Amino acid sequence: MIARLGTMFERTADVRDQKDLEDVLEDVCRTIADLLGYRAVVVNVYRPAFDDMLTSAAVGSEESVSQLVGRSSPRETWVPLLNERFERRGAYFVPGGEFDWDGLGVESYVPSIAASEEPDAWTAEDALFVPLRDPKGLLIGVISVDEPDTGRRPTDEELDALVAISRHAALALRIAQDTANDVQHQRMLEGILEVSARLAEAEEPDEILQAVCDGIRDALGFDKVVIELAPTREAPLTPYAASGWDMEADAVNHGISLETLGPLFTEEFEVAGCYLVPTEVAEERLGRHRIDYSSELNGRGPHAWSRHWLLVPLAEPQGRTLGLIWVDDPRDRLLPTQARLQALRLFANQAVAALQSADQALKLRHEATHDALTGVLNRRAFRARLAREAAQPDAAFALILCDMDNLKRVNDTLGHEVAVVLAGASQLDAERVAQRLQHAVSRAARRPIATIEASFGLAVYEPGESGDRLVARADAVLYEAKRRRREIVA
């Protein structure tokens, strides 16, 4: 017996998913069947998401196993069976004829057992159960045994042995469930770290936002995830990344603003920076702004997901809120634990970091190509534009340089000098533009500048020439135009 129990516990350490847990439960059934001599053993596991008992594993005849495994029954149907009047030494024995099985309202399996005249003979209507409880006394399952090899009802000693093994089975079940939870927790951490690594590598915020959505879906087990952003609290939220949701769906293009959703972000529904709101409350507080959408993966009972709203604001440390993450349809159909919500908040923080990084990068790129004083494009941007134009197939463009007289006055009044790149322009096109510019400059005179004069240098790109040579040719024409204008004035 000790060896079999040791093997049973060793297998609990290998649990990684639901299939592993089912294997452990089947091992529990076989251990009880072999050690205590029952031809039928069933393990029913409590499912918080549905508030019911699911027959997760069984050993017995092919007929009984096929009829029992996978069948569920509401938790309340077990209450009358686990009544104290049937309690014997920690087990519950229900003698045939003393319980109205049809009154339960659920189908029950009755084995084929020949009637016997013996007073302690086991009958087809007899039932023997042992509840499985966690350290807090909460019901996590029930073991049911039937068809004893002896053909007799259990003695006190046999009940003691069944209860003892069942307690070990309860511990094994709890360990297996905890191990599975630990694996899920590890996946959460790995998902967060993976997104963190991508945050350092990705150049575009869209990549990170999509990675956050995928990470929440894969690591936290939500089938639907969307990130919605808005430039202000009053502006409608717009979906920027999603997993499991169609970006064009009406549900995520609802046109509601952060300000409208404000009544949902209250302390009573806040856990770890996330807001879990019952749907009835959300609909009442949003009033006419309610969204025509309902969760699909709902459960039953006090611990089940039931069309809840789970929103995570994307708030910067400085206080500005950029948008939110909306998650729905948990695959386990359960309300998220605090650890799960804390992981969700970490994913949200990564989204905020990505958006702040992108905003900073945008500012740096702007500063690199724009004059800090006037905000106009600088020489670096000009050179980059020349390079892009020259790199086009069959490149054709013209360049105009402008020189202003009384430059300091003009600068102080109208801004710095500019260069004009005319994509696809011919010599004639460029000359016409230069004439319009010169006319516009002459008309721009106003106090404190009485007159404004400008000289223009024009050059049309020649295939293969460098940007420096093009600018030099335009500059030479500019210098010549300025010299001639001065001679005319003189």
Enumerate the β-bridge partners of residue 276.
Answer: 310
Peptide bond connecting 336 to the previous residue in cis, omega within 30 degrees of 0: no
Task: Give the C-alpha separation, 237 to 228, whole Å.
Answer: 6
Question: 117-120 long-range CB contacts below 8 Å, 24 or more apart?
Answer: 118/151, 118/152, 120/152, 120/153
* Residue type at 176 in one-letter notation: A
Task: Give the C-alpha separation, 98 to 424, whole Å.
Answer: 97
Same fold, 2-179 and 202-366: yes
CATH architecture, range 2-179: 2-Layer Sandwich (3.30)
Could you please state the CATH topology (level 3) that the domain comprising 379-489 is classified under. Answer: Alpha-Beta Plaits (3.30.70)
Q: How far is CA 67 from the centre of its chain?
A: 38
- Residue 23, pLDDT score: 81
Q: What is the dihedral of CA 354, 356, 357, 363, to 10 degrees?
A: 150
Task: Give the C-alpha separation, 116 to 75, whole Å.
Answer: 33
- Residue 101, pLDDT score: 83
DSSP string, 433-459: HHHHHHHHHHHT-BTTBS---EEEEEE
- Residue 88, pLDDT score: 95
- Residue 405, pLDDT score: 67
Question: Helix H segments across 289-378?
Answer: 338-369
Cα dihedral sign for 153, 159, 165, 170? positive
Claim: this prediction has a pTM higher than 0.75:
no
- Residue 2, pLDDT score: 60
- Residue 478, pLDDT score: 86
Q: Print burial letters for 64-75: b (CB count within 10 Å at least 16), e (below 16).
A: bbebbbebebbb
How distant, in Å, are the alpha carbons of 121, 122, 153, 183 from that of 95?
A: 11, 9, 9, 42
Reported as type and span, the H/E element at residue 427 is helix 427-443
Task: Give the C-alpha separation, 1 to 116, whole Å.
Answer: 31
- Residue 200, pLDDT score: 65
Residue 431's Cβ-side half-sphere holds a number of Cα atoms within 13 Å equal to: 5
Average confidence (pLDDT) per 10 residues, the chain, 490 residues: 66 69 83 90 92 91 84 90 93 91 76 80 92 91 93 93 88 81 82 76 76 91 94 91 90 90 94 95 89 90 93 89 94 93 92 77 61 73 81 85 68 63 84 83 66 81 87 88 72
- Residue 84, pLDDT score: 93
So where are the chain's domains?
A: 2-179, 202-366, 379-489
- Residue 416, pLDDT score: 55
Task: Check: CB of residue 444 under 8 Å from CB of residue 414.
Answer: yes
Give the SS3 label for residue 281.
helix
Q: What is the CATH number of domain 202-366?
A: 3.30.450.40
